[in-house]
Amino acid sequence: MAAGAVAAPWRIVGLPKQTMPLTRFDIVTEASAVGAASAAVVRVMVDGSYGNLAFDTGGVQLSQQALLRWRWRLDQGLNGSDLRRKDGDDSPVKICALFDMELSGMSLGEQSRLRFARALTGEHLPAATLCYVWDRLLPAGTELPNVFSARVRYVVASSGAARPGQWVELERRVGADFLRAFGHETRQIPPLIALVVGADADNTGARSLAFVGDLMLAPQRP
């Protein structure tokens, strides 16, 4: 995309009936290293807000060896965030994979809650969402459920304070990560229905600034 507003097929989405501001996403040109050519990246700005930049994949089937690659940069982190607490469940930047998992492996209570949420919002909310996050407290490699919903699991991909101007390149075997997070509910990797770049501070009310670039998916790497 050219510098400026985000364009299709990407779209900015929030929560159903959201009243707080949307996280701001736009396209800027940034160099990944000194002397490198500039490239288009997503700038992610949070100010007590919530929002996601979503790309619908149409139901891609992943292998366990599927690779998700990206680079990101955190110039300003979120003060007060703590993924282990409801009042701190915010992230300055995250990459999420949304899966259309069958409900049959979930507990009856989880099935009922998800069906109710789908009926209430009119949205086909995913039964399984895996989010790679930058967290200021938890060490890289930490895996934990979202404190509000077991339908979302976190993997801490980067850890610590902001590193202004410093790009971090990452690669994850997203199929294997899914099975580790949701394997107690299914033995199969369900279709991937969307990829999301997100950030939120609806619980802490804080501000953050991050950049994301070169997001790539290789579904069937041998």
Average pLDDT over residues 74-99: 97
Nearest by Cα to 52 from 95, 108, 7, 88: 95
Give the least confident one: 22-31, 133-142, 153-162.
22-31
- pLDDT category, 119, cuts 50, 70, 90? low
- pLDDT category, 221, cuts 50, 70, 90? low
Report how far residue 154's alpha carbon sits from residue 43's, in angstroms, rounded to the nearest whole number.
22
Q: Which residue's entry shows tokens 């996601």?
A: 52
Average pLDDT over residues 53-74: 95
pLDDT recorded at residue 219: 82
118 against 154, higher pLDDT:
154
Angle at 49 between CA 137 and CA 178, to 5 degrees: 55
- pLDDT category, 23, cuts 50, 70, 90? very high
Q: Is the pLDDT of residue 177 over 70?
A: yes
pLDDT recorded at residue 123: 60
Helix or strand or coil: residue 175? Answer: helix
Average pLDDT over residues 86-98: 97
Nearest by Cα to 31 from 68, 69, 74, 73: 73
Report how far residue 51's alpha carbon sits from residue 92's, in angstroms, rounded to the nearest whole number.
11
Average pLDDT over residues 181-196: 93
122 against 113, higher pLDDT:
113
| DSSP for 64-122, written as a single string | TT-EEEEEEEEEE--TT--TTSGGG--EEEEEEEEE---GGGS-HHHHHHHHHHHHHH-
Q: Is residue 133 within 8 Å of residue 155, measured between CB atoms?
A: yes
pLDDT recorded at residue 120: 60
Q: For the chain, give the number of residues.
A: 222
**Mean pLDDT over all residues of the chain?**
90
Q: Is the pLDDT of residue 136 over 60?
A: yes
Question: Could you tell me if residue 115 is left (phi over 0), alpha (psi between -120 and 50 degrees) or otherwise beta?
Answer: alpha
Written as one letter, the residue type at 122 is G
Query: In order of start, what are the domains of the chain with their CATH numbers?
Result: 4-218 (2.60.120)
Measured distance between the N- and C-terminal CA atoms of the chain, rounded to whole angstroms: 30
User: How much of the chain exceeds pLDDT 90, in percent?
Assistant: 74
Exposure pattern of 181-220 as b/e (b: 16+ CB <10 Å)?
bbeebbeebbebbbbbbbbbbbbbebbbbbbbbebebebe
pTM here?
A: 0.91
pLDDT recorded at residue 201: 97
Q: Which residue's entry shows tokens 């989405």?
A: 13
Q: Is the pLDDT of residue 143 over 60?
A: yes
Q: Is the pLDDT of residue 57 over 80?
A: yes
- pLDDT category, 124, cuts 50, 70, 90? low
